[in-house]
Each structure stands twice: as structure tokens, then as C-alpha cells.
Amino acid sequence: MPAVTFASEKLAQPLTVQGEPGQRLIDVVRDQVAAGKLPMAWRCGQGTCGACVVRLLHEGQPRPVQLGGIERNVLIRAGLMAPSAPRTLPDSPELPRLACHIVLEREIFVYF
């Protein structure tokens, strides 16, 4: 089971929880927000609002990641990515991502 560690200046200390392989990160976020353990914003959970922007750190970075059209468009609309940015980018902690587009595969650190 992949560990998910959330870190933010909004948290007194990092929060680590267990996720399920194949589970979407937004589902872990929803559970922790509902339990009152995570002060993180999310609204639609469908990848269109852009409220769940995160930055990720995990084993294997940097590696190429291809952003889907919806995620890329939301990040451009939010001013987090240039319209000229390619669809395939280095997966690094500097790359903004949407939690609703992340599928858990391995241990991951989430910064928000």
C-alpha cells in the first residue's frame, strides 16, 4: 500500500496516510479533509476546477509525464503553466499537478 505524506505550511507537521494502489489522490484528500486532518481545498474532484493543485515528490523523478488535455488546460487557465508548454514534461516537484488526475502507484510526498 503506497504511503501518502502531505506537507504544507498549513500543517503543524506532515501527515502520512496509506493509500491503495490505483486509487486517485483526490480520494485520499477527500477522506482526510472529511476527518478534519487535512486543510486542503478541493471542489469538483473531476479535474475541471483547479482547486486541488499539488506538487509531488516520489521515487523515479524526474521522468517524462504526459499531461492529459483537461489537466493541462486547467493549469494553463490558472496561470500555472504557459500555453506553449508541451504536453510531455519532466515529472518533478516543480511541476504543478491536480490531485484528481494522480493515480497512486508508489510512496508519494504531496506539497500543497
The pLDDT of residue 9 is above 80: yes
Q: Would you say 78 and 72 are in contact if contact means Cβ atoms under 8 Å apart?
A: no
The pLDDT of residue 41 is above 90: no
- 60: number of CA atoms within 13 Å, CB side? 11
b/e 24-48 (16+ beta carbons within 10 angstroms → b): bbbebbbebeeeeebebebeebebe
- At 13-38, the pLDDT tens digits run 999 999 999 999 999 999 999 999 99
Query: Cα separation of 74 and 54, whole Å?
Result: 13
- The pLDDT of residue 42 is 81
